Amino acid sequence: MLNVPTLAQLQSEGKKAEIVFWVGCAGSFDDRAKKITKAFVKLLNQTEVSFAVLGTEESCSGDPAKRSGNEFLFQMQALQNIATLNAYEVTKIVTTCPHCFNTLKNEYPDLGGNYEVIHHTQLLKKLLKEEKLTIQGGKFKGKRITYHDPCYLGRANQIYEAPRELLQKLDAELIEMKSCKSKGLCCGAGGAQMFKDAEPGDKEVNIERTEQALETQPDIVAASCPFCNTMMTDGIKNKEQEDKVQVMDIAELIANANDL
């Protein structure tokens, strides 16, 4: 049974959480991304991190609206969220979505929302360093894993090492794609492209990226973004490789390794 307290519930009991888990729209509503949310919550429960969620009080961060050019809608959504977060005196937020991470971290301060915002791979790395989290490597021993850098985590926020350090604890073989880290290639979902048809062209970006991933002959394509997960999964299906290659979030890989 997952233990997921809400801020309202804790407040009614006179308690506070150290960190708020911002679930995000994908993590709340998308069936595939819900599995990432559950895996991360299992790890939070296992490590006894003091956390809570907003639950029904959480609204979209505003990232899709801003990226598609609707600044007015973005500010409406952001100001509503900031009012809610500030009412609960929130200081620290963790999210599994780099889009939410980037928006909350870099764009909310201009509107009065000042929080310490971290990505789930950063928190898991910190818990590992503090020896609150252990990663069992046995299940993935000998597996070939390639890691796809999400744009809003990597190039936008320079977070490259935390995800890789976690993957290396799995005792798997980590193989880099030819376009990685600061030269990483977008999966095609960023900038609100996730929600529209692609422009005319010879090849969709996620197919190009999937081809780069398949060149490494992986057993698993590791991701740390729900949008990337969707785009890479679609690419693997397009190449009819879904029976051979899995696309998994880093939180799922660790939870799976730990038999959670």
pLDDT confidence of residue 47: 96
CATH of the domain at 250: 3.40.50
DSSP the chain: -----BHHHHHHTT---SEEEE-HHHHHH-HHHHHHHHHHHHHHHHTT--EEB-GGG----SHHHHHTT-HHHHHHHHHHHHHHHHHTT--EEEES-HHHHHHHHHTSGGGT---EEEEHHHHHHHHHHTTS-----GGGTT-EEEEPPPTTTTTTT---HHHHHHHHTTT-EE---SS-GGG----S-TTTGGGSPPPS-SS-HHHHHHHHHHHT--SEEEESSHHHHHHHHHHHHHTT-TTT-EEEEHHHHHHHHTT-
Q: Are residues 159 and 176 in the same domain?
A: yes
Residue 95, in any domain of the structure? yes
pLDDT by position in tens, the chain (length 260): 899 999 999 999 999 999 999 999 999 999 999 999 999 999 999 999 999 999 999 999 999 999 999 999 999 999 999 999 999 999 999 999 999 999 999 999 999 999 999 999 999 999 999 999 999 888 999 899 999 999 999 999 999 999 999 999 999 999 999 999 999 999 999 887 887 888 888 999 999 999 999 999 999 999 999 999 999 999 999 999 999 999 999 999 999 999 99
Residue 199, in any domain of the structure? yes
Give the domain range for residue 79: 7-126
Residue 187, in any domain of the structure? yes
Q: Which of 126, 157, 172 is the last residue of a domain?
A: 126
Q: Are residues 97 and 121 in the same domain?
A: yes
Residue 195, in any domain of the structure? yes
Q: Are residues 164 and 82 in the same domain?
A: no
Residue 100, in any domain of the structure? yes
Q: Which of 96, 126, 156 is the last residue of a domain?
A: 126
Q: Are residues 107 and 157 in the same domain?
A: no
